[in-house]
Structure 1
Amino acid sequence: MALGASHRLQDGIDAVETMTRFALAVLALASGVYTYLGVRSILDGSATAVFFAALIYSSAVSVAIYAFWTYMARFYPHVTGAAGRGAMLGVMALGCAMIIAMSSWLNAAALAGSAALEQHLAETLEDYTADLDTAHQNALAAQSLLPDIQRTQERFERLADQERETGALTGTTGAGSVVQLLSQMASQLTELENGINASRERVTSLFDEGRKHLETMRTLVSAPGAIDPRADQFAAEVVGLSGVITSLEQTSIAPSVKRAAEDLSLGFIAPVADGREADLANRQDQVMETIRSSVAAQSKVLSQAADQILSREPVAERRFVPLSSAEAVLRYASDFIPSWAGAISIDILPAVLVFMLSIVHSTLRRQEQRLPFAERITAAELLQALEVQRAVQQRGVDLETALTQAEKTETPDQSNIASFDLSGKGPRKGPPV
């Protein structure tokens, strides 16, 4: 039964030898084709030069892969020693690493290069979308000061009207120095309000322009067709969007608000009291001093609010870096694990065949060792034994005497019979017949 199993294993090895060669050739060819596509995506130059360079490189890769796995399939299953097996495994690991380095990543670029480039464009789009939103928020941050400015401006105008009509501050009606000062402060705040409103229109216009760039970029990311023309147009849109973001950063009204707030107190010029009576002039001076204190307090509040706006983190300058398909596959390798697995499997799959052959040969050797000598003797060994027997019979040598002499000199084995002198005088010094 063991003999039949050994024969079946040997027959199986012989039967799959042609299939093994065919499988290695097909896998090497497939790897070469995808390597060719990957190489073409990273080479620059004329179309002819790129074609021949990629063809030569992919051919070399195919030959190298086929030769390497052919050698491994031929030699590894027959190496039985631990040291030899370890050395062969080391060679296999080194060869697999070299194959991955020269072929697998290019295969991955051919399989997932376009998708990886789209991934790069999509992530770049997200970054620029965030930058545009940040720049827009920074530019509009000064709008939060508008309610305080309007409220203060309206208060100064209301006090000026009340003083003019009823003399609410000085007790004397008319348009005197107090009314003049209140109107002056209200006018300055109105100018500041108008400046903030004008900046809002400019910011809105720039933001709309930036959104149009983003819409075009989003369309390019998801559009069908070749990726290279879309990537080029995407880069052009990035340049336009970067200009919009820079303009938004420079459009912020916060620095102007801070300067205007400081001018309210530092540039405060109170008119001379114009009251004809000393008591009225004294009341006017007191009211104007109160107005000065109010303006100083309001100036401090506006200046602090402007400082908070100016302390915001500005949008960092961003530069779009175009990538080749191979570079994109390497950068976003974690997002394309199935493609990488397929690209590597094409090159490393023959290792499975090598290990299968190694297991079968090892099993075959163990089964042959358990067989009796008569069942595992080869035809050549049988012919040699018959030749020895005829020689012994012709010279009249006692076979039992020869075996006894063999036991005294070496381990008895029927294969050692030929090493004795057929004359019966002892072991022969020369090589066996």
Structure 2
Amino acid sequence: MALGASHRLQDGVDAVETMTRFALAVLALASGVYTYLGVRSILDGSPTAVFFAALIYSSAVSVAIYAFWSYMARFYPHVTSASGRGAMLGVMALGCAMIIAMSSWLNAAALAGSAALEQHLAETLEDYTGDLDRAHQNALAAQSLLPDIQRTQERFNRLAEQERATGALTGTTGAGSVVQLLSQMAAQLKELDTGINASRERVTTLFDQGRKHLETMRGLVSSPGPIGPRADQFASEAVALTGVVTSLEQTSIAPSVKRAAEDLSLGFIAPVADGQEAGLADRQDKVMETIRTSVAAQSKVLSAAADEILARAPVGERRFVPLSSAEAVLRYAADFIPSWAGAISIDLLPAVLIFMLAIVHGAIRRQEERLPFAERITAAELLQALEVQKAVTAGGIDLAALAQGPAAPEGAEEDRSTNVTPLDAAPKTPRKSPPA
């Protein structure tokens, strides 16, 4: 039973030997093809030079893979000692690492290079979208001050009209120094209001330009076709968008608002009271001092709000870094695990076949060790033993005598044959009984 199982296993090993060689050749060829595609994506130069360089490299990879796994399939199953198996496993691990280094990552670049480049463009697009939004928000931050400025301007205008019409502040109607001061403050706030509104139009125009660049870049990411031309056009759009973001950063009116707010207080020039009566002049001075205090408070509020806007982190300068397909596959490896698994499996699948052969050969050896010697000997070994017997017999050597042991001297043999008597043939002498 054991002999039959052993023979069947050996017949199976012999039957799949050709298939094993064919499988190794096909896998090595497939790895070489994808390696060729991966190498072409990272080489620069003339088309002819790139073609021959990639072809030579991929051919060397195919030959190396086929030779390595052929050696392992030939020797590993027949190494039985623990130290030998450990050394062979170490060599296999080293060879697998070298195969991954010279082939597998290029196979992954060929399988997922375009998708990895699109992933790079998509993530870069998200970064530029965030930059544009932050620059737009920083540029429009000063717009939040506009309601306070307009409210203060309207209050000064209203007080000026009331003073002119009813003398609400000094008790005397007419356009005196108080009306003049209130109108002056209202005019300064009006100029600041006009500057903020003008900056809004500029910011809106720049933001629309940036959105157009983003739309073009988004279309390049998702559109079909070769990735190389799309990546080049994407890079040009990224440069234009960077200029828009920089312009938005420089368009912010917050610094101007801060300077204008400080000018309200530092540049306050109160006119001389022009009242003809002493009481009126005194009332005008008191009202103008009150206006000065109000303007100083408003200037402090606007300056603090402008400082908060200026304290925002500016949008950093961003540069688009183009990548090759191989570099993109390495950078975004976590997003393309299936492609990496396929690329590595093409190169390392022969290891599974080798382990299967090792298991089968180990089973054959264990089954043969339990057989008698006569059943373990092969026909070739039997013929060789017969040849050895013929050669020894022709030399005058008695194999039967050698098998019985070393021969005794001739005289000693004769003494044994003449003097030694069998126990049954020896004469028997009666034993004397002891005296009574």
Letter in 2 for 1:204: T
| Residues 398 and 424, structure 1, Cα contact 8 Å, conserved in 2 | no
Q: 1:424 to 1:92 in 2, by over 3 A?
A: farther
In 2, the alpha carbon distance for the partners of 1:214 and 1:424 equals 109
In 1, the alpha carbon distance for the partners of 2:380 and 2:374 equals 13
Q: 1:424 to 1:3 in 2, by over 3 A?
A: farther
**Counterpart mapping for 1:184-223 below 5 A:** 184-223=184-223
**Residue 379 of structure 1, CA deviation:** 1.9
CA displacement 1:297-335 (0-9 Å, x = unmatched): 000000000000000010011110000000000000000
Partner of 2:383: 383
- Look up the SS of the partner of 1:317 in the other structure: coil
Letter in 2 for 1:164: R
| Residues 368 and 376, structure 1, Cα contact 8 Å, conserved in 2 | yes
**Residue 389 of structure 1, CA deviation:** 6.5
Q: 1:424 to 1:110 in 2, by over 3 A?
A: farther
**Residue 374 of structure 1, CA deviation:** 1.2
In 2, the alpha carbon distance for the partners of 1:260 and 1:45 equals 59
Letter in 2 for 1:285: D
Partner of 2:172: 172
Partner of 2:58: 58
In 1, the alpha carbon distance for the partners of 2:99 and 2:179 equals 89
In 2, the alpha carbon distance for the partners of 1:267 and 1:223 equals 59
Letter in 2 for 1:177: S
Letter in 2 for 1:329: V
- Given the alignment of the two structures, is residue 27 of structure 1 paired with residue 45 of structure 2, yes or no? no
CA displacement 1:183-220 (0-9 Å, x = unmatched): 00000001000100000000000000000000000000
Partner of 2:156: 156
Partner of 2:83: 83
TM-score by length of 2: 0.91
**Residue 157 of structure 1, CA deviation:** 0.4
Letter in 1 for 2:155: R
- Look up the SS of the partner of 1:269 in the other structure: coil
- Look up the SS of the partner of 1:247 in the other structure: helix
| Residues 157 and 182, structure 1, Cα contact 8 Å, conserved in 2 | yes
In 1, the alpha carbon distance for the partners of 2:165 and 2:395 equals 156
In 2, the alpha carbon distance for the partners of 1:63 and 1:341 equals 22
Partner of 2:420: none
Q: 1:385 to 1:157 in 2, by over 3 A?
A: same
**Residue 385 of structure 1, CA deviation:** 4.7
TM-score by length of 1: 0.92
CA displacement 1:344-401 (0-9 Å, x = unmatched): 00000000011111111111100100111111012233235546767679969483x5
Give the unaligned 5+ runs of structure 2: 410-436
In 1, the alpha carbon distance for the partners of 2:102 and 2:397 equals 69
Partner of 2:417: none
In 1, the alpha carbon distance for the partners of 2:47 and 2:221 equals 27
Q: 1:243 to 1:87 in 2, by over 3 A?
A: same
In 2, the alpha carbon distance for the partners of 1:226 and 1:218 equals 16
| Residues 36 and 57, structure 1, Cα contact 8 Å, conserved in 2 | yes
In 2, the alpha carbon distance for the partners of 1:394 and 1:302 equals 124
In 2, the alpha carbon distance for the partners of 1:21 and 1:73 equals 9
Letter in 2 for 1:179: V
In 2, the alpha carbon distance for the partners of 1:281 and 1:228 equals 81
* RMSD between aligned residues: 1.7
In 2, the alpha carbon distance for the partners of 1:387 and 1:278 equals 151
**Counterpart mapping for 1:26-425 below 5 A:** 26-386=26-386, 397=398, 399=400, 402-405=402-405
| Residues 397 and 424, structure 1, Cα contact 8 Å, conserved in 2 | no
In 1, the alpha carbon distance for the partners of 2:384 and 2:331 equals 67
Letter in 2 for 1:351: A
Q: 1:347 to 1:387 in 2, by over 3 A?
A: closer
Partner of 2:429: none
In 2, the alpha carbon distance for the partners of 1:353 and 1:137 equals 62
Letter in 2 for 1:91: V
In 2, the alpha carbon distance for the partners of 1:424 and 1:65 equals 65
In 2, the alpha carbon distance for the partners of 1:363 and 1:148 equals 91
In 2, the alpha carbon distance for the partners of 1:387 and 1:157 equals 131
Computing the radius of gyration from Cα coordinates, the structure with the larger value is 2
- Look up the SS of the partner of 1:32 in the other structure: helix
| Residues 268 and 292, structure 1, Cα contact 8 Å, conserved in 2 | yes
How many residue pairs were aligned?
A: 408
Q: 1:11 to 1:282 in 2, by over 3 A?
A: same
**Residue 178 of structure 1, CA deviation:** 0.1
In 2, the alpha carbon distance for the partners of 1:348 and 1:377 equals 37
| Residues 69 and 350, structure 1, Cα contact 8 Å, conserved in 2 | yes
- Look up the SS of the partner of 2:43 in the other structure: coil
In 2, the alpha carbon distance for the partners of 1:79 and 1:63 equals 24
In 1, the alpha carbon distance for the partners of 2:388 and 2:334 equals 70
